[in-house]
């Protein structure tokens, strides 16, 4: 069993968002016909066992609303007006509401963005991790941008794991077809920050350089939890040095477009392929595209690895 944990540390080291690596469970048994698994028993005709890099990590059980402190209005007191024709006091001390900006949370909301006037954007209130606050945007970074501070991400994005992640309320708010609203941002104690949920990557694990990740990063497989169930996702991460066939401990040691798996007791970095065609394996002689069970499917595409 191999485990890998990806911790998405937010800028300044205040918070983290966790996703965990896939395949998970007792291993991924692969069969030559592609009915091979990530969690169960089974195997191909020669008994090849494929173990994916299990990862346990924190993920969102549910999307929850941001808890923001209400702003109390100040009463305006004025003197009563007396005059020859006006004997009645004129009350002018009614409360004046100052929360009426229409946002679902106050003083601003993350997804959809509401409550901050451009060039400011709504983000987590990093002073106390309670609610939200408006912040500056010095560099409008997006999914393909690296970052070191909060202000290096565009409106609607947060700096976590060294790159900008997009806030979301549902899958429709994420890049398609592979992006999912699934990465919960947590504080340093692992507690979920209310409302701070971001999109997983729309990157391609067979083509990490395809444009959805920051330059030089790898499109990797992870598993998070949403609604109490495991959910396979993709996320950009630093690649390892191991090429196809290199021995590996977990997927962090493997290069782009490969996945650390175990076949016939040998843990190797193996090329990621798409099933059932498995055309990617044509460049790795003597291999076919072996799948996982349950199938490793993200955005309508089933993935496997090239193995003998």
SS (H, E, C) 69-112: CCCCCCECCCCCCCCCCCCCCCCCCCECCCCCCCCCCCCCECCC
Question: CA 44 to CA 54: how far, in whole Å?
Answer: 20
The pLDDT, as a whole number, for residue 8 is: 58
The pLDDT, as a whole number, for residue 11 is: 58
The pLDDT, as a whole number, for residue 284 is: 96
Checking DSSP bridges between strand 218-226 and strand 132-135, what pairing results, if any? unpaired
Q: Residue 283: which residues within 8 A CB-CB, separation 6 or more?
A: 271
The pLDDT, as a whole number, for residue 84 is: 40
The pLDDT, as a whole number, for residue 63 is: 35
Full pLDDT tens readout for the chain, 308 residues: 232 334 455 554 444 444 433 443 333 333 333 333 333 333 333 333 344 433 333 334 333 333 333 323 333 333 333 444 434 443 434 443 445 578 888 899 999 999 999 899 999 998 877 789 999 999 999 999 999 999 999 999 999 889 999 999 999 999 999 999 999 988 878 888 888 999 999 999 999 999 999 999 999 999 998 988 899 999 999 999 999 999 999 999 999 999 999 888 899 999 999 999 999 999 999 999 999 989 999 999 999 999 99
In the chain, what is the straight-line distance between the N-terminal and C-terminal CA atoms, in Å?
21
Residue among 83, 23, 52, 34 at smallest CA distance from 263: 52
Question: CA 261 to CA 126: how far, in whole Å?
Answer: 39
Residue 172's φ and ψ, nearest 5 degrees, are -65, -20
Question: CA 212 to CA 295: how far, in whole Å?
Answer: 24
Question: CA 223 to CA 201: how far, in whole Å?
Answer: 13
Question: CA 5 to CA 161: how far, in whole Å?
Answer: 12
Contact 32, 44 (CB under 8 A): yes
The pLDDT, as a whole number, for residue 70 is: 32
The pLDDT, as a whole number, for residue 280 is: 97
Residue among 163, 179, 161 at smallest CA distance from 171: 179
* Residue 276 preceded by cis peptide, ω within 30: yes
Return the residue matching tokens 């469970």.
25
The pLDDT, as a whole number, for residue 105 is: 85
């Amino acid at each position: 069993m191999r485990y890998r944990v990806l911790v998405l540390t937010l800028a300044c080291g205040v918070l983290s968002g966790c996703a965990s690596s896939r395949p998970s469970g007792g291993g991924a048994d692969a069969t030559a016909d592609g009915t091979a698994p990530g969690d169960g028993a089974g195997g191909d005709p020669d008994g090849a066992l494929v173990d994916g890099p299990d990862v346990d990590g924190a993920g969102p059980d549910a999307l929850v609303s941001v808890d923001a402190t209400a702003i109390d209005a100040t009463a305006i007191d004025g003197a009563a007006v007396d005059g020859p024709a006006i004997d009645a006091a004129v009350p002018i001390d009614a409360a004046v509401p100052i929360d009426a900006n229409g946002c679902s949370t106050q003083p601003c909301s993350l997804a959809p963005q509401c409550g901050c006037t451009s060039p400011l954007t709504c983000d987590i209130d990093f002073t106390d991790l309670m609610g939200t606050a408006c912040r500056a945007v010095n560099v409008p970074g997006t999914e393909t941008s690296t970052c070191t501070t909060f202000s290096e991400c565009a409106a609607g994005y947060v700096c976590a794991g060294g790159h900008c992640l997009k806030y979301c309320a549902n899958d429709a708010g994420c890049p398609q077809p592979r992006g999912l609203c699934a990465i919960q941002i947590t504080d340093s104690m692992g507690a979920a920050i209310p409302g701070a949920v971001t999109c997983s990557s729309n990157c391609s694990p067979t083509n990490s350089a395809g444009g959805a990740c920051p330059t030089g990063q790898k499109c990797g497989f992870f598993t998070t939890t949403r609604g109490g169930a495991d959910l396979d996702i993709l996320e950009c991460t630093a690649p390892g040095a191991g090429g196809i066939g290199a021995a590996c401990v977990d997927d962090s040691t493997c290069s782009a477009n490969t996945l650390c798996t175990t076949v016939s007791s040998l843990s190797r970095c193996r090329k990621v392929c798409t099933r059932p065609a498995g055309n990617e394996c044509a460049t790795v002689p003597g291999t076919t595209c072996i799948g996982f069970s349950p199938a490793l499917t993200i955005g309508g595409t089933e993935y496997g690895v090239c193995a003998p």
